[in-house]
Structure formats: C-alpha cells, structure tokens
Amino acid sequence: MAGRSVTVLNVAEKPSVAKAVAQILSRNPGIRGRDGRSRYNKIFEFDYTIRDQPCKMLFTSVIGHLMELEFDARYRKWHSCDPADLFQAPVHKSVPEDKKDIKRTLEEEARRCQWLVLWLDCDREGENIAFEVVDVCTAVNPHLTIKRARFSALIASEIYQSVQNLVEPNKWFADAVDARQEIDLRIGASFTRFQTMLMKDAFNIDTVTDGRNTVLSYGPCQFPTLGFVVERYWEIQAHEPEEFWSINCSHRSDEGTANFSWGRGHLFDYTCAVIIYEMCIEEPTATVTNVRQQEKLKYPPHPLSTIELEKRASRYFRMSSEHTMKVAEELYQGGFISYPRTETDNFSSRTDLHAIVQEQQAHPEWGIYAQRLLNPETGLWRNPRGGGHDDKAHPPIHPTKFSAGESGWSQNHRNIYELVVRHYLACVSKPAVGAETTVEIDIAGELFSACGRVILEKNYLDVYRFESWGGSVIPTYTIDQQFIPTTLTLDPGVTRPPPLLSEADLLSCMDKEGIGTDATMHDHIKKLLERFYATKDASMRFTPTNLGEALVMGYDDMGYKLWKPYLRAVMERDMKLVGEGNKSKGEVLDTSLQQMKACFLDARLNKVKLLEAMAIFFERSNRVGSEHQNTTEEVVRRCGLCQESDMVLKKNRDGKFMVGCLGYPQCRNVVWLPGSISEAVVTTNTCNNCTPGPVFLIQFKFRQLEIPPSYNVNHLGCIGGCDEILIQLTEICGTGPRMPARARGPTPATSNAHPTPATNNANHTNPRQSACLHCQETGHSSNDCPSQTRRSRNAQHPETNQQSGESSVSCSSCGAPGVLRTANTANNRGRKFYTCQSQECTFFVWEDSINNGTGGRGSARSNNVPTSTRGRNGGRGPRGRGRSGSNSSSGTFVTATGDPISGRRCFTCGDPSHFANVCPNRGV
C-alpha cells in the first residue's frame, strides 16, 4: 500500500550486522553512518520500500544483551543474606551502566519512529534480546508497530526476502531464556556463595589465581559438565589391569597376507588358553568354512549443526569449542557462512542446494569436485540425509559466499571455512562404495576370521579429506580350502582403561544428556578451565584438578547427585517446552527452584561431607581473615539492631561459637555462646516463643567434662532469650574472648519473649508453664523467684552431717542434701561445687562461694540472651556473681567459672557488689 512515508527504527544484535544489512538494503557498500550516543553503535540512514510502503530506514544496533538480570540491591553483597534466601529474593532486569548510551540512542530514535523492526539473531537468545529492545523503545513510544525480521545468513537474497516478509516476535522463545536466566542466577548464586564462604579460607587451595579472589563457583550446567570429566577420571583410576591371552593366526600367499582373529576374542584363564592353543598346534591345518562377499556403503555426514562443528574442529584442527564459535561468528558476520548457532541438521525442501554448490566451482582446491557434483552425467549428486533435528529457527551451517581466502583471515578462519564448505559438498554427495570379503576358517574346532575391503567408489571421500575408509586386500579363498597357517601364536595382552575425555567426547556427553544448548556448551567448558576445576592437555583431553574432584566428591558423598546431568536435563526439557508454548515460564520456575532449594538445604545440612572431601586434597588453612570469613555462616535470625542483615552462627579463630550480624563492621550485634560448646549446627526448627521470628534453633553439643553432670551434652537451644539451659551454661562455663564493649558499639535489647524450654534433649521443665520449684506459684521461673532473690542476698552456710561430720548444703529447690563434686574445667580444675542428687534439678553452688555470700546458681539467674546484657553502658559481659558481700565496695565480680569481670555495676542502683537481676531495689 503506497502512502505517506513511515520512519522505521531497525535494530541489529551487533554493529557489524547492522552495517552489513544496511549496505545490502541500501545497495551502497560505502554507506556512511552518523554517531549515536554510543560511538560503537552507529546509525545508518537510507530510503527503502517495504511491500509498497515508503520507509525512511534508521539502522542501529545493540551489543548482545541490552539488560542484565540481577537481585535487588540488598541481596547483592555476599554476606547480606542467607544464600537460601536467593531462591526467592526479588530480581529485576535493568540496563547496566556500560550500556546506558545504547539505551539513550534507542530512546531518542524511537520517539520519532512509527515502526520498530528487530534484526536480532534468530535463536532464543536473540528473541530475548529483541524483547529487551522492545521494552526500552515502547517505554518512550508505546504506539510503535513491532515487527521481526527472520534471516539465517548475511547475503542479499536472505535479507531481501526477510525484510519483505516481516513477522511477529516470539514471546515464548524470550520466556524460555528468561526462565533459564533466572534459574541459573538463583541456583548459581546460592551454591557459589555457600561453598565459597564455607571453604575458600578454610583450606590452602592451590590454584592459578595468583592470589586473586578465589570464587568456588557452581553452575547448574557447569557442574554436570565437570561431573563427566571427574566420572571418566574415576573410571580410569578404578581400573585394575587384567592379563588375558588370545590366539592369533596369519596366512601369507602370493596374493598377500591375511590376519585372522580368534572367534573367542581372548581368555582371562591362562590354563584354558594354553590347552586350546596346544590343540591348535597339534592339528594346525586350517579349513575355510565360509566366504562372504558383500557391498558396503560409507555414508557422508549429516548437514552441519553447531555441536558437530565444534566436535569436528576439535578433532581435525585441535581447536577449542570456544575459539571455534568465535571464528565461526566472525565468518558469519562477514557473510561467508550461515548462522553458526543451530541445532538443525536437516535442510528444508525450500533450500536451493544447487545454488550453494555453484558458488564454489571456481575454488582452486574443491572447485573441480563442485563441477562434478553439478554434472548430471557423473551421478555424484545425492540429496542430503537429515539427522532428525530441527530447531525451527535456522538451517544447518553452510557456505553463503565464495572465498579463496581473505587477506585478514588467520589459519583458523581458513580451516573453519574449509570445513564448512567441504562438509556441505560431502553431505550432498553419494556415499562411498566398497566390496568387503569375510573369510572364516576352522583350526582344531576353533573358529577364526579375517576381513578385507576394497573401495570401489570414493565419491564423497574425494572431497571430505577429514575422513578415510581403511581396509586391506586379502588373498582369495574358497570354501573347504585348506592351508597351514604361516604363524599361529598365543599372545598375552592386558585390559586398558578408557581414555580421558576429549573435547569432542565432552561435547557429545553434554549433547546426549541435554546439558546446555548449542549456543552455551562451549561456555560451560570454558568455565571449568577458568575456575581451575579441570585442565586440558595438548591432546585436547580433560583431567579434573584436585579442586574439581574434591567438589564433586563432596556432593557425591552427600547422596545428592548434583554433579550428575539428570536434574539439569529435566530443566532443559522444561525450558524447551516453554519455547514451544506448552508450559508457562512461572510453572517451570516454581518447579525447578523448589527442587533445587531442597537440594541446597540438604547440601548445607551435610556440608561436613564437602569439608571432608576438601580435607583429602588440601591442607587446612591458618589464614586469619575477618570473622565472617572463618565461619559456616548459618542464619539464625534477622538482626534486631540494624534490621537489614541476618544473624549467623559463627566460629571464631579460637574455635569458640557466637551468633553475629552479617552487617559487620557497620553492625556489631553479637550473642556470645558458652565456651564449652564443641559442635553447633543451625537446624530448620524454629522457636515458638521468640519474636520477631523466625528464630532457628541450634543443635549444640557440649564437652562433657566442662559442664555439670546434671546437664545433657546434647541440647537443642534458642538464642532468642527464652532458653534457661543455655543461660545457665553460659554462667557456669563462660564464653570465648570478646572485643571491648566500646569497640563493638551498642547492642539491641534482646527479645522479651517469655522464657520457654528450647530443647527436648535436656530433662528440664518449662518454668513459665509449671509451678516455681521454690514457692510453687506459677507466672515466674524458679531463677526469678522473689523469695530466692531475697535469700540470695544472705550468705548460705553449709550444715554439718551429724553422721559423717562433713559439711553439706541443702538444695534450695527441693531441700535434698547436695552432693559435693569437683570441677574439671580449664578455669576451675579442682574446685568444689554442690549439685542436687536429682538429675532433674538444676541446683548448683560453688563451695567457696558459700562462705563469700555469693550464693548458688539456683539463687539468682538472669533470663536474658546469653552474654548479651541490657543496660545503659552497653556492656555484654558474662553472667556472674560478686564474691564480696552486699556491702563490698571492691567493684570486682567473677563468673561461676572464676573469671574476673572488672568495672561491672548494678544497672538499677549502681552498687558494684551485685547485678541488677538480684538488686533489692528492683521493682521499687
């Protein structure tokens, strides 16, 4: 429809493609462009007509993806959150800073256009970039008419046809890429942070990073790719050579020599082999039992797909898959080959196959063969066989323009172009024809056979120099003919392991199991080498490094086959269904991320397997880093002070446990834990009382000799302020070294939730749900009992046992006589203390504190978070009792373990002789 001219904004994926298409459509090889906001992405202007519609064409480009998918700002720092949160943390697409100029160019040009024509690469990735361009342009001009140009080669015929047959962009393809990006971002970030923070400073990892920041990355495609390499390596390591024996026979005549192989192949039993061999030696006459002659065909390869291009370039030229794709991309942009990223190995019936051959007739090396192909009298032409794959986007890779070699080409450019051309000429040729003869003979009842082959017609082998069809001529034999073998030997042999995976083998494994796509497989292989998970030798074969093997071994020991291809293969199939419109993006995201989050949580609970595997290959590190670098980083709760970061379980360089804020050093909130803890693991159980939640319970294991015998060494505890057991053990055992209070800053008040038991492992009663042990009233715990608070101010004196004459103390809880025991902790070895006879009672008092008026553990306790003290001075010392009486003015306190704490005063009245929890003025 002729009419008023419209302004059309055309956007290609790369500047070189924009220039090439503009030159073709404008018919001006010397077309000049003007600068946009980005000096690399010029704008070409010319007039054109699309289906009788006069158009003013503006042609520009992006540089690959215009946008990046990333987490919201508060989740981007490694220590800003629990890595498990990344499975549901908010994500968004935005234009990165280095591409803002390209965005501004698109916005400025789109405002004055009526049409937007997308010339992005015609695969899923290109479709996704197309919708990124659409989002930017329609944000400033929502009235744009959106069209898509589909093409597979930068040649005039393709471009002319494409611009006159514009279509709608494919949202399904774009959604499939969005799904992959989000899945890979969430899984990769969570596992990478987890294993890097867990191990990089715990071990001396001997890498080639030259001291640079080491990242132990995890990728849902990268790890199964590593798994293939490690699994083959393990097969080789596990192989045990086994000796075998075989009988070999040869016969030489005037026509040549025939080598006969034993029908049994070989035997592992030497005695059996010797017996059979001796039978053959005693009756060595060979009788021909069968002679078969048949025609054999060797078929040419299927049309060339991306994976086959990478595999053959690796095999023929020892080129890496990454470099192969780089060279192929440059040849495509120069218009010499079709689009190099395609899964298709079957030509459409609409493709003019002869025209492609015609362009190659003048080539000095394969031009004569091309002429023979086009000559009907030779009978050499044969329509290509399809391989059964079609991505519905691009044809197989084929030559699009003649070249005898450009001046700027490297040897690799020449090799790839030659491979593409010869491969195409081969796949439209007849198969090679050979005559194969098989002769079977009998010696003393044992069968042997020999095979000979003669090539009758080479056909495609004449041009495809990369393949050969080996064979040998054997003498002529007839049935029942007899002869004496020239040689008849019993030869030893040994079984050999399979070879290391070559790059072609690895690509085959990935392709077979559906790991990655034709456009991404080479990137996953490249990552293995960059991360030093594997090395590649001069033969293009891969060996896992200690680091790569340790990571795979650790996950394998967990039981989850995260290094196996199955999980990723299912995801790839689901994403393919999204591209076909048979599944929604949201459905695939929910399924995949739910499955992988379960794997992540399980892996974290079993992280000891990773540490054990790493310890096999690497020495433990003595490096001193920041606190969060030496910790397992298991989230316990959200920080109540900064309200931004998480509180995580940490282990200091001295081996003591604590719960600290990930916002350190900006936030210095910390909860110090008893120094007698030997193991601590955050569980998935949460406290029902502490708020704000969730507060995850921690499974503690205490050192038996450092806690009173009435306590269980296993304890499921809460650091939220409700756990009486944890508070008591902190008082008894003290904590690890701490920074001065002024260096840490103020600490938030702990949760004021009512105290509640935090364990089902220790035999203690919930003081808020049962009657007080002292006054039998409810509503308070025994350690907060008013009667005991008053009693604690008076010295408790031992009574004398009338029968034994020994001093004893009655339990303040149940009245039973206390048992005198001796402490064995580092701080109090040899010191005497009294405990109740009942295992269910928590009464405890030091013998030497009775005369000093300190009182026992049952007489006064705090119900605050362990070692996190409330008060005006922000102190966080451990709970203690003053050794001096209430009238003491020494200002010196000690913990139950005897550690001095200087400068502590009652927060209520200021008296240095007691703490606020036993202050007589409390509540006044």
Rounded distance between C-alpha atoms, residue 672 and residue 629, angstroms: 18
Beta bridge partners of 659: 649, 671
Coil, strand or helix: which one is 340?
Answer: coil
Rounded distance between C-alpha atoms, residue 546 and residue 588, angstroms: 35
User: Is the Cα dihedral 739, 742, 747, 749 positive or negative?
Assistant: positive
**How does DSSP classify residue 66?**
S
Rounded distance between C-alpha atoms, residue 321 and residue 525, angstroms: 8
Instruction: Return the beta strands (E) in 176-282 as ranges.
Output: 243-253, 256-262
Are the beta carbons of 336 and 403 closer than 8 angstroms? yes
CA nearest to 592, candidates 574, 610, 579, 605: 574
Tokens of 908: 């209520």
What is the rounded end-to-end Cα distance, in angstroms, of the chain? 94
Helix (H) or strand (E) holding 661: strand 657-661
b/e burial code for range 592-630 (CB count within 10 A of at least 16 → b): bbeebbebbeebbeebebbbebbeebbeeeeeeeebbbb
Rounded distance between C-alpha atoms, residue 199 and residue 219, angstroms: 17
Helix (H) or strand (E) holding 587: helix 585-605
User: Is the Cα dihedral 501, 506, 512, 513 positive or negative?
Assistant: positive
Dump the DSSP string for 825-857.
STTTTT-EEEE-SSTT---EEEHHHHHTT---T
Distance of CA 877 to the CA centre of its chain: 42
Beta bridge partners of 465: none
**How does DSSP classify residue 897?**
T
The residue with tokens 């082999």 is: 273
What amino acid positions are annotated as catalytic residues? 339
Tell me whether residue 726 is exposed, middle or buried, using C-beta atoms within 10 angstroms of its C-beta: 0 to 12, 13 to 18, 19 or more.
buried
Rounded distance between C-alpha atoms, residue 84 and residue 356, angstroms: 54
Dump the DSSP string for 441-495.
EEETTEEEEEEEEEEEE-GGGGT-TT------------TT-EE--SEEEEEEEE-
Helix (H) or strand (E) holding 291: strand 286-298
**How does DSSP classify residue 801?**
P
CA nearest to 850, candidates 865, 836, 832, 866: 832
In degrees and rounded to multiples of 5, residue 139 shows phi and psi of -65, -30
Are the beta carbons of 813 and 843 closer than 8 angstroms? yes
